[in-house]
Amino acid sequence: MGHTGVGGADPAGRVGAARREWFDQPRCFLTEHLNGHWDARTERRVSRALALPPLPSRRPRDEVWGVSVVRDEADIIELSVAHLLDQGVDHVLVADHLSHDGTTEKLRDLAWRDHRVHVVADREPGHFQKEKVSRLARAAWRAGARWIVPFDADEFWFAPGQPLASYLLEREATVVSGRMVDLLPLCAPVDRSTDFLVDRTGAGPRKVAFRAHPLALVGPGNHGVARVGADEPGLIVAHVPYRGPSQMRRKFATGASALRAAGASAAEGWHWAAGERYSEDQVAERWGAMRRGESVAEIGWRGVDPSRTRRVLEWTCWPAAGDGRCQRPDLP
């Protein structure tokens, strides 16, 4: 994979790009800390708790890396990592956050079978997602990443009309955002042939991929990044947060516990806190409502179209109108 870099062959463009990278980005980093959005003590605490494995070192920087912090996602983590690698991502760096459901063993097995997968032991009980993901992104930059894709275990990233990695390496922007599209599986466990009900509201929040830099700071939930330079839309993030009543209960309890351990504000992970209050019967009732296409506002579920299903994970890219290369040209 290759890329000419921001500014191309234009000397003035290259000078402007260098200024942004080595003057404006450090200033952005310092401003975030001075404004109280970041705390150096928490960053040091997180760094001490992340046991990074030896990583490759590559020059020039021409790779796309996925980075993630996961906890108790044994039913889907292998699928999401395999999807990124199929999309041309060169390496995946995953921090396992004290999982108890077999996620740790599955990640270790993936790393043993595929040298592109690297597993980090995350010993910090608190959520602290933005600090952890930013630390992983910095490690990926050192290892040769040109682009960083901060993903969650229940996300499947797509580009329009082509694989994700080649799409990113063609961009002149510094940040490329992805619109989230919620999916609801009709059966569990989820695999490539699963039929999904698809959110067609187009109202999902954005996620971001960005050009690697040692001072980039990923925002809460991977929904933003403190990174100077041009920002453009273009990606789709297929999101499978809920995969049945038992998984929902585990997700709510695990997430709410990690937020308490981090001393997080009520605004962060509010859907986990709301879901943790559900009884077993209430979770089953909400799952039934979701299957009928209804929204469940208290956990942030917008609803899906119950009349049509799609095998989204069979797609090689996100299809545009009239484009048959991704198997299904009728979704936006």
How many percent of the chain have pLDDT more than 70? 91
**For 89-118, what is each residue's pLDDT tens digit?**
999 999 999 999 999 999 999 999 999 999
Q: What is the pTM of this model?
A: 0.90
Mean pLDDT of the chain: 90
3-state secondary structure the chain: CCCCCCCCCCHHHHHHHHHHHHHHHHHHHHHHHHCCCCCHHHHHHHHHHEECCCCCCCCCCCEEEEEEEECCCCCCHHHHHHHHHHCCCCEEEEEEECCCCCHHHHHHHHHHHCCCEEEEEECCCCCCHHHHHHHHHHHHHHCCEEEEEECCCCEEEECECCCHHHHHHCCCCCEEEEEEEEEEECCCCCCCCCCEEECCCCCCCEEEEEECCCCCEECHHHCCEECCCCEEEEEEEEECCCCCHHHHHHHHHHHHHHHHHHCCCCCCCHHHHHHHCCCHHHHHHHHHHHHCCCCEHHHCECCCCCCCEECHHHCCCECCCCCCCCCCCCCC
User: For residue 328, what pLDDT band results from cuts at 50, 70 and 90?
Assistant: very low
pLDDT in tens, 146-188: 999 999 999 999 999 999 999 999 999 999 999 999 999 999 8
pLDDT score recorded for residue 10:
61
Q: Mean per-residue pLDDT for 30-59?
A: 94
